[in-house]
Chain A
Amino acid sequence: MSQQRDKTPARRRFLRDAARSAAGLAGIAVLLGLQQKQSQARDGLALRPPGALANGAFDSACIRCGQCVQACPYQTLKLATLLSPLAAGTPYFVARDIPCEMCEDIPCVVACPSGALDPLLTDIDQARMGLAVLLDHENCLNWQGLRCDVCYRVCPQIDKAITLDLQHNLRTGKHAMFLPTVHSNACTGCGKCEQACVLEQAAIKVLPMELARGQLGEHYRWGWQEKQRAGHSLVPEGLTLPARGAKGGE
C-alpha cells in the first residue's frame, strides 16, 4: 500500500506538511486560547460548599459528580473548569455573585456520595465555608462615620457573626462610628455580607479560613486570660523591671 502512495510523492508530501502545520497551528492556538482564558479569571474568591473537608482532604475525597451543584436550590454552587485555581470538576461558589443561603436541611451535604462534604454537618450554623473580613477600612462607609450597616443587616447571624462596635469619630470630633466587626465563632462564611456590600468592590469579603485567620505562636499566652484562669497574676504584682538606658546595668 505504501508503494502505491509513493507514486504521488508531491501530493503526499503536501498533505503531510499541510496536516502537520495545521496541527502545529492548532496547538499554538489552543495554548494561546487557554492563556487568554486564564487571564480573564473572574474576580472574587472561590469558596467551598458547607461541610467541605479541609483543602487537601477535599481534593482527594471529591469525586466530581456535581450532585451538590444539582441539589443547590439557589444555583449558588458551580463546578470548576479547566485552568481554574481549583481542581477541575470540584464545586465552589463566589459569594459576590450568589452567596450561600444556608438552607436548614443542607441539601448539598445530603447529596454528596463521597463524604467530601462531611455528613456530620447537620446544623448549618456550624458550617465554616470561610470567614468574612472587613478588608478595606478606607472605603467602608461605616468606617467613614456613615450608617450603611448593610453587611450587618443582611447577616443571617446578625449580632453574633457581625456586630456594630461603637467608636468615637475623630474626623468630625462629635459623632460616632459603628464599625462592622466579624466574630469567627459565629461567622459561617456564607458571603451574604460580601454580596450585599454597596460599594463597587466589596469592602467586606469572605476569605478561605487559612487566609483569613492568624495564628498565635504555640508558646504564646494572653496574660489576662491566664490571670483569670489561675485566679491571680502569674507574675508578681507590682513587678519592677530594670531600667535599660544607653548605659544599661553593670
Chain B
Amino acid sequence: MIQFNHVSKRYGATHDILSDVSFHLEKGEMAFLTGRSGAGKSTLLKMMAMLERPTSGQIVVNERQLCQMKRRHIPELRRDIGIIFQNYKLLNDRTVFDNVALPLIISDAFDRREMARRVRAALDMVGLLSYESALPMTLSGGEQQRVGIARAVVNRPLILLADEPTGNLDPVLSREIMHVFEQFNRVGVTVLVASHDVKLIKEMAYPVLAIDQGKVVRKDLTSQSGSARHG
C-alpha cells in the first residue's frame, strides 16, 4: 500500500532531512512512526500525500507512483488518504459540521442526507456530536484535534496518516482516539501514526518505523501482542 524506495529529502543545499529511506507498509497494516522532534516524521507523512516531493527516490502509494504523478491527479490521491495534522488545519469561520463535511462536499458524490448521516457518525465516533454547530475556535486543542480526526475518517479513506494526533489529548482520550484508528484498521484501512509518545506506542504494540539520523528502521512488535489486539 505504501512503499518508499531509497527516498531522500534535502532542504536547501546541504540539509538532508531524510536520507535513502526504504520501507513498505502492507494494505490494512497499522504502524507508528517515531523519532525525535525535527527528525522528519512530518516530512515523511507529507510526501505520501504529495504535500512535499522527495529530492530523490521512488514513493508508491496505493499503486500510484508519486514521483511521476501529474498535478491534476493529486486530488484523487488525497481523497484516498485521510490526514490528521498536528496543527488541525480547520476552517475557523465554519462550524464543526461543515469542517467535517468538507471531504464529502468536494467529492460531489453524496446528497445532503447521506452527508449529514456520515458527518454525525464521524463526530459521534470522536465524541463531539453535541458540538456540530460550534465554531472550531470555541473548542479546546484536544477537541479541535478530534474534529480533525473526524474530518480525516468521514470519507472512509484507504489510508489514514496521523501527525501527532494525541499531542493535545489526555491519556484517556489518547487511548480512545487510538481505538478509533484500530477500528478503521480492522476494516482494512492502512494506518500510519507519527508520534513520540513512547508509552502509548509500547502499549499499542504495533510495528514501529523509527527515524534516526535521516534513516528509517522498522521494528516489528506485532508478534508480541498482535493476536490480543485483533481480539
Indicate whether A and B interact: no
